[in-house]
Structures are given as C-alpha cells and as structure tokens.
Structure 1
Amino acid sequence: MTNIYATDTKHKSYAIIALCCQIILLIGSLIYFKERMLFSDAPHVLFKIINENKLQIAENRYGSFIMQLFPLIGARMHLPLTALILLYSASFNLFFLGTSALLTFKYKRYDLTLLLTFYLTLFVSDTYFWTNNEVHQGITWLMIAFAVTSYMKHKDRPKIAVSAVFILLAALAIWTHPLVMLAALFLWFFYIIDNSNKFVSKGELIIYSVVLLGLSFMKFYQGMHHGYDSGKIEFVTQLKADGLKTILSAPQLHSFVKHCITNYWLVLLLSVVGLFSLIKEKKYLLAAYTVVASCGYILLICITYREVKDWLFYMESEYMPLSIICCAPFVCYTLPALKKQYAIVLLTLVFGIRLGYIQHSSKLFTDRVATLEQIKEQMKKQGLTKAIVTQSENANQQLIMNWGTPVESILLSKLDGEVPQRTFICADSGMLKSFNTDSRDTLLGCFEKVPARGINARYFAMDTTSVYRTMTYGELMR
C-alpha cells in the first residue's frame, strides 16, 4: 500500500482528477438547481429556513448545519430568492469540493479524496437530484476527522488536542447519520489491519478504536429510541433467523443486483480489481475483511428495505457508503501499482462514465419541473392561487413524490415572478378531513398549517382573499 502521506506527483494527479470531477458536479448543481431544489426535502427545508430565520436540524443530524448556513445567511442579507436557491443547491457540492481540496492540498490524503469522489459518483444517478440525505454530509465530516487527526499526529501536536479533535469530529460525523458509523468502522479497521497508521502508537489505536465503537453504540442506541431512525433499526434488531431465509427472494436484493448490472457495474469492476490486488500482495485478511464488510452492508440494506424496489433516488443514497467499502482496496493497492498514465486514463473513464449516468437521470427531474409548471399554468387559467388536488394518481407518477408540492409550487411561482404565489397540495380523503380549512390566511404546508403571519413577507406573498379550492387532478388539467 502507498504511504498515506505520499507526496509524489503521481498520487496527487489522481486526486486532482477527482477534484475535476467534483467541479463538474458543482457546475451541475447550478445548471440543475430547479431539479434539485424543487424536489421534496430541499424546498421544505429552504422554506422553513427563510420563514423561521433559523437552522432546521432534524433527527439530531447536526452535521447538516454547514449547508443550511448558506441560505440562512443569504436570507439575513436579503438576497433574492433565486440567489438563495442557487446557493443552497451549490452548498452541498461546495462542501464536498472544499473538503476534497483540503484533503488534497493541505492534508495530502489523496486516498480520502478519491474515496469521497467515488462515494459521490459510483452509486449516484437519480440521487444527485435529491440533495438532503444527511449521510453525505456525515461521510464528508468523517473524511475530515480522519485527515485532520492523522495530520495533527504527523505534525506531533499534543496528544490531548489530537484526541479532542478526533472525538469532536468523529461524533459530528456519526451523529449526522447512522450509516456513517458503518463506513467509519470499516475504514478505521481497514487501515489498522493494513498497518498503515504506523505513526500512531498501539495504545492510541486502542483508545481511538474504543472511541469510535463507543460513539457508534451511542448513536445506534439513540436511533433505536428516537424518531425516524428507530423504525429502520427495528427491522434489524427484531429480525429472526427465519427472516434471513427470505432475503434471497427480497425485491430489494433483486433490484440491487439488476441495477448493479445496468447502472453500478463500475463498482463491481473496481471491487474485483481491488480484491485481486490484495490477493496478489498476499493481504488475505484484508481481502476477507472487505468481502465480509461488503456482504454485511448489502444484507443490512436488504433487511431494512426488503420490500422497496422503487424510489431509486432514495435507495442510491443508502447504497453510497458501500462504495467506500468496495473501493478501498482499489484506491490503496491497485492505483499505486499502476503506471501513472494508465491510472489517469482509468480514473478519467470511471468518473466520465458516472457523470454520464447522472446526466441521463436529469430528464426524470426536468420532466418533473415541467409537470409543476403545467399544474401552475392550469391554476392560472382557472384563476386559482390555492388548490387541493385529489385523485392525483397521474400526478403522483410524474411527480415521483408529492408531499413537498405546497412549497415546491410556491417557490416555482415566485421564481416565475407571480404575486401572490400559487400553491397546491395533493391530498387523499383522509388528509382532507385534517388538512382542509376555510381560513383565507392559512397555508396548507407539507406537514403543518402555516398562518400568513408566519411567512416571510420579504420573499413570499400569500393570497389571503380566497380559500383553497378542492378538485380532482383531471378537473384541474382539462
């Protein structure tokens, strides 16, 4: 394995190729800002930031603050809404790119730059347009934790300072999303088994390992008993032995295998090549560890999401940490063994192909924005500013998910210069009983009713002269 502080131009060149890929992803975040920022979580979070003038940290996922600072500060500076939306869309990729630049040029952790870029591309197509899964920020904080800690040790900083920084950053990473603990534990013990943390004493390795395991246990325990994560963890903790027998027939496994053949095949290629390199170097324990970790991660995904075979944008975000597990041998063993020109060509092809898959997925979300536009125009033709849309099966198919339409439609209407803004919500009969209102000054939001006084008048103008009109999707679109 190459030394993690290898400073030759060969390894730096590989990291720079990865940075170029991330620059393209950043440019894409500006080109496709509507596709990304008018889809479910992102507009919901942005709308609340603007109206409540504070960060919107959910489920104790504190690492997401870094992205939310961009629109929050922008709103306090009274920047135009278009600028806020562009800032928020770009903020995710700015964080990834900025981190990778630090990993490359300051900390010289070219391995982590490559792993982070593989994470952002290999299992990514639809999920590029769904920005707000906090696992991405957590993984990025994890890379920072490893890089800063190893850099401080390399520079002989005081042990107490190194330990404090490691605990703080590792806790931030793991607390940002439960899946981060799996990537953290794998990568940490991968380096230990490989003996590539030689500058850290055995005693410190034990301490840091206990810290990582302890943080992971606390996050797992907290997730079991709180909110959104508890429902997912229950699938694992309550699994019986008989349940394992059904995994091979699970729709999730079949969907995953299918997409590995048609979409994520580069992961398989890089995994096989990396394992071959380990075997060639007689790193049998490391090869076995990687295989077991990869299979274990896939098993956990199939247990947790056994029946889920659609929602590719969502499932890809769950697959993404697997790229770190699968590609660590390739980054640490295969690339250092290749001639520089061959490695550069290979990396360029890998990132180029994955960027092509992301571009191909854009049509689904561009069409989604077009559907929102069509609904808004139909509301305009019928003189509506507020609508409750029922029997919306056709709309559901085109919108992929429709719970965010109240704020998606407002943001789109504002971008198109409409005053007051138009808004609609898709509702079934059950929602109508709890959500319908005769009030003229209440917005039916994604999960709550928002009074007009709770909306930032600098950015939004709500129609307070009319009530919501309930109609079927067919009636609206005819």
Structure 2
Amino acid sequence: MAYFFKSGASSSVATSDALKISALTGVFALGLLLLGSVIFYKERMLMADAPWVVYNIINTHSLFIQEHRYGAFITQMFPLAGSLLHLPLQWILVLYSASFNLFYFISGLALYRKGQYTFALLLALYCTVCVSDSYFWTNNEVHQGVCWCMLLCGYWRYPEAQARGKFPFWLLFTLFAALAIFSHPIIIILTVYIFGFYLLAGNESGKRRLIALVVIPAIIAVKYYLSKSGWYDEGKISTLESISFSQVKGVLHTSTARIFLSHCLGRYWAFSLLTLLSAGTLLYARKFLQLLWMLSFFTVYFIAVCTVYPNCDFPFYIESEWMCISIIAALPFVVHGLSGWRKEAAAVLFASFFLSAAIIIPLSVKPFQERIALLEKMMDYFRSRNWRKVIILTDEHNFNNKLEQKLIMSWGMPAEMLILSRTDHLQQAGVTAVCLSQKAFHSSYTRTDEETFINTFYAEKKGTLNPLYFSIDTTVRYTTIPVDSVIVVLQIR
C-alpha cells in the first residue's frame, strides 16, 4: 500500500504532479470519445432529438433553442453552418455528432493548459464514469451545461482572471454562469454543490466568495422563474415541489433506484470506488462539514432522480440523468485525496476508469445499430411500394411490442427516417413515417388537412422544407401492420 501514497510532507509541486497526470489522462479520454463520436455518428444522430434538431435547423436556417437552454448554441452552430454552406447532409450529421465531444475535448484541454486540473479531470469523469447507452443520446443539454459549469469553476479559481480587473472578471463569470445554469435545471444542483464545497473550506478570497454568493443565486432565480413557465421543465420542477414524505420513503422501491444500485456493482464500479475514496478522504482529514455537504447532495440528487423518473424504461435517458452524480462523488477525492497519491498510482487509477468506459461504451452500441437497420428496412419496404409518407397503425393492445422495443423511442421516427432517406439516397425522394396506435392516430392526425403530416410532437408542412435535402409529396399512405406481420415483412427478430 505504501507504493500508492507519497511519503513525507506533501508539497504543492507533488500535489500537482498526481493531479496533473490524472487530468492529462482525462483529456486523452475525452479525445477518444471525440473519435468515437465520428465513428458512431449514425447511431447518435438518428436517435430521437438529434434528427429533430437537425431537421429544424436546416429548414429554418437558425438555431433551435428550447426551454431557454442557450448553452446548446455551442453545438448547434455546426449543423447551422453546414446547412448555410450547403454541405452534404451526411457531413452535417458527422459535424453535429462530433460537435458535442469536440466541445468537451477543447474545454478539457483549455482547463488543463490553464492549470485547472481539477475541473479538467471532473469533466472527463462525468463523460465516462456513469456512461454506456447515454453516449448515443447526445441532445440532453445537461452535458453541455456540465461543460460550461467546469469552465465556470475553472475561471472562478484562475488567479489571472481576477488580475484583469473587477469588471471583466464579473462580466465573464456572469456569462459562464448563465450559460451553465440556463443549459439545464439540473446544473443548479451541481453548481451549488461545487461552489458550496469550496466555500465551506473557508480559504477563498473575498472577491471570489462575493461573486459566487451574488451572481449565482441571481441567475438561479431567473432560471427557476423561466423554467416554471416552460412546457417541459415545469412538469419536472412541479413534481419535486410536490414530493411527499411517503414518496421519499419509497424511493428505494422504484425500479430506477434498484437498477442504478445494481449497476454500482457492475458497469458503474468506478463511481462506487470514487464515492468510497471521497468519503474516506474527508473522514481521514476530519473535514466533517464537507462530508456532510457531499452526503446531503448525494441524497438529494438520488431522491430527485428517483422521484421524477421512478420507473424510467429508457436506459439511455435515465443514465444521462445519473451522470452528474459522478461529480458529486469524485470532487472531494480529486480536491483533497490526490495530494497523498504518487503520480504513477494516480495515473493507473484513472486510466483504469477511462479504459473501462472505452470498453463499455462500444459494447452498448448494439441496440442503436439494430434500430438503424430497422429504419433502413422500413425505408426500403416503403420505397418498393412507392410510398413517401406512411402512418403505421399498430394494434392497440400491442403498441408496446417488438416494433416499439426495437425503435427504443419512436416519437422521432418521422425525422429519423426522413433524414436517413436523404443521407444515402440524395437523388431519390425522401421517405418518412410515423408509428401510432389506433387511439393516438384518431386523436392527433388531421385527415382533412392534406398538406400536414402530424404526429404527437411536431408537424411538417408543405413549402417549409429545404429542397436541397428534403422532397416530400403530399400523398399520405395508411397501413395497419400487426405485430406478426411486421416480424414477417421487416424480419424483426
């Protein structure tokens, strides 16, 4: 055990050695994730939100910001630029897929170059520790929000930032804080946790303490007000505001909690180890107030996720909600624990974390590849019958059937198939389809409007489409495909 820890009194140089090599390992891991974003661009870009965002950006020639999540502009600039330059649709998809991890990689590298090793490492841990299926769902703005939050924290603790003058420091801090907190309500919890953790140490300068206590609460208040009037975030916030004691007691009985805790013994083993290392570090250093802070936020976050999503059936979705908990678990060890480790041992520890993610993530791609293959089979099937717009009416009693399971999440199917049909078959007319139950079809589809193709989430009208990419006729085909017929015709197995 002596090999893992330094002997004698620690120095600032020795402390930075262990942290620096760990952060460098993390930056390398972010680079590998960037490479993977190019390799798996189809699996990431033809899944639910991503094709819907690309569809809207191309056809409106503008950013597609929702719920005031302005931090997403950094990635949406890529498909917007691609559409304005009339790049091939395939290139736009590759650029958009890479843009997310390019942002994380450049941010991690910038933090590393400026000596903010703690936040470069935390960003890498966020992107790897509790990640498998969620790697293939890019458009949860929590991810961009976490990256902005790490840049915010790095700027806050960067000595030269304060030396530039009070006004520039406050201005840039406010900008970073707004981009982080506005990206997603979850970032509020993470931001309060990180800044509170440092403020509890009691060694922050007066200027840093003042700006954190003034700017962050003000931005949180504005974000909360705007979220309460939104169409998506408001429901989640209302659920938390109305939480009861009985719900808290029943948290461990939810399938969300059971699945997460079981993963802590498997694919999330690095998270479990980091939690133990952090708790042990704070206990050994007798930093009981910070230990209480960590455990409190861990508990609050755990209850919040399990209450808002008690029985989430989509692994990629719920995993993206869990990812922030890795930062809550890792922060104390990264800040206080690494100072006692040899740099070689620290490098081995974090390299094992990142290597594990490099194995787990590619192994998680299969269901996303299968859904792409299914979309391609459906597209070929419809093309062979010269169908350009198709509504698949599934049997009411079997809507959650093999077809729905293969698609994982079907609401984005019209945009997914439309973009897929224009990616590899540029000279052919686009094909699009929507999968609806009989009940949803009769309640959400307007038969009398021949120029509108509607599912429960968005409408596509004739005349709004960019002819460079999309060409859709107005004839709508109706086809009822029972489960067994789908298995035969499309060979779903």
Contact 1:389/1:473, CA 8 A, preserved across alignment = no
* SS of equivalent to 2:59: helix
1:387 equivalent to 2:396? Answer: no
In 1, distance between residues paired with 2:440 and 2:460? Answer: 16
2:457 maps to amino acid: F
In structure 2, the residue matched to 1:262 is 266
Residues 154 and 385 (structure 1 numbering): CA distance in 2 closer, same or farther, change over 3 Å? closer
- Any residues of structure 2 matched to 1:50-199 within 5 Å, and which? 50-105=58-113, 107-151=114-158, 156-195=163-202, 197=204
Give the equivalent residue in structure 1 for 2:316: 313
Q: How many Å separate the matches in 1 of 2:16 and 2:266?
A: 37
Q: Which amino acid aligns with 1:324?
A: I
- Contact 1:67 1:95 (8 Å CA) reproduced: yes
Is residue 2:448 matched to residue 1:448?
A: no
Which residue, 326, 329, 335 being the options, matches 1:326? 329
Which stretch of the first structure deviates more once superposed, 21-30 or 386-395?
386-395
Q: Distance in 1 between matches of 2:92 and 2:202?
A: 46
Per-residue Cα deviation, 1:406-428 (whole angstroms, up to 9, x for no partner): 11111111122151011111012
User: Is 1:287 matched with 2:291?
Assistant: yes
CA distance in 2, matches of 1:83, 1:245: 50
Would you say the 8 A contact 2:41–2:93 is kept in 1?
yes
State the distance in 1 between where 2:378 and 2:258 align.
Answer: 36
Tell me how far 1:204 sits from its aligned partner: 4.6
Residues 60-91 of structure 1: CA deviation (Å, up to 9, x unaligned): 10110111000101110111111100000000
User: Once the 2 structures are TM-superposed, how far is the Cα of residue 155 of structure 1 from its aligned partner?
Assistant: 5.2
Q: Which moved more, 1:450-459 or 1:207-216?
A: 207-216
In the superposition, relative to structure 1, how do residues 321 and 24 fare at CA in structure 2: closer, same or farther (>3 Å)? same
* CA-atom RMSD in angstroms: 2.3
Distance 1:453 1:19 in 2: 46
In 2: Cα distance, 1:5 partner to 1:445 partner: 60
Post-superposition CA distance 1:430-472 (Å, at most 9, x none): 33233254766544467233222111001122234x3323322
5+ residue gaps in structure 1?
A: none
Checking the alignment, whether the CA contact within 8 Å between 1:224 and 1:233 is kept in structure 2 is: yes
Which whole-Å CA distance do the structure 1 matches of 2:331 and 2:402 have between them? 43
Residue 458 in structure 1 maps to residue 465 in structure 2: no
Question: Residues 252 and 302 of structure 1 are in contact (CA less than 8 Å); yes or no, is this contact kept in structure 2?
Answer: yes
Aligned partner of 2:356 in structure 1 is 353
Alignment coverage as a number of residue pairs = 472
CA distance in 2, matches of 1:291, 1:462: 55
2:6 matched residue in structure 1: none
Structure 1 residue 154 displacement after superposition: 5.3
Q: Secondary structure at the match of 1:468?
A: strand
Q: Give the SS at the match of 1:454.
A: coil
Moved more, 248-257 or 91-100: 248-257
TM-score, reference length from structure 1? 0.93
Mapped to 2, the partners of 1:173 and 1:109 lie a distance apart of 17
Residue 233 in 1 paired to residue 237 in 2?
yes
Change (3 A) 1:111 1:5: farther
Q: 2:437 aligns to what?
A: 428
SS of 1:427's partner is strand
Query: Does the CA contact (< 8 Å) of 1:33 and 1:86 recur in 2?
Result: yes
CA shift digits 1:97-150 (9 cap, x unpaired): 111111011x21000001011111111111100000001111111111122233
SS at match of 2:434: strand
Amino acid at match of 2:193: F
Report the CA distance between 1:299 and its aligned residue.
Answer: 1.3
- Partner of 2:138, secondary structure, is coil
**Aligned-residue offset at 1:402:** 0.4
Task: Name the SS of the counterpart of 1:122 in structure 2.
Answer: coil
C-alpha separation between the residues in 2 aligned to 1:77 and 1:4? 50
CA distance in 2, matches of 1:296, 1:5: 36
| Change in 2 beyond 3 A, CA 1:8/1:48 | same
Between the aligned partners of 1:162 and 1:40, the Cα distance in structure 2 is 39
Distance of aligned partners of 1:354 and 1:388 in 2 relative to their CA distance in 1, 3 Å threshold: same
Q: Is the 8 A contact 2:15 2:338 kept in 1?
A: no
Structure 2 residues without counterparts, runs of 5 or longer: 1-8
1:24 and 1:446 map into 2 onto residues whose CA distance is 37
What is the alpha-carbon distance in structure 1 between the residues aligned to residue 246 and residue 275 of structure 2?
A: 30
Bigger shift: residues 386-395 or 137-146: 386-395
Q: Is the 8 A contact 1:153 1:162 kept in 2?
A: no
| Aligned counterpart, 2:4 | none
**Cα distance in 1 for residues equivalent to 2:480 and 2:245:** 49
In 2, Cα distance between the equivalents of 1:324 and 1:3? 25
Conserved? CA contact 2:19–2:334, under 8 Å = no
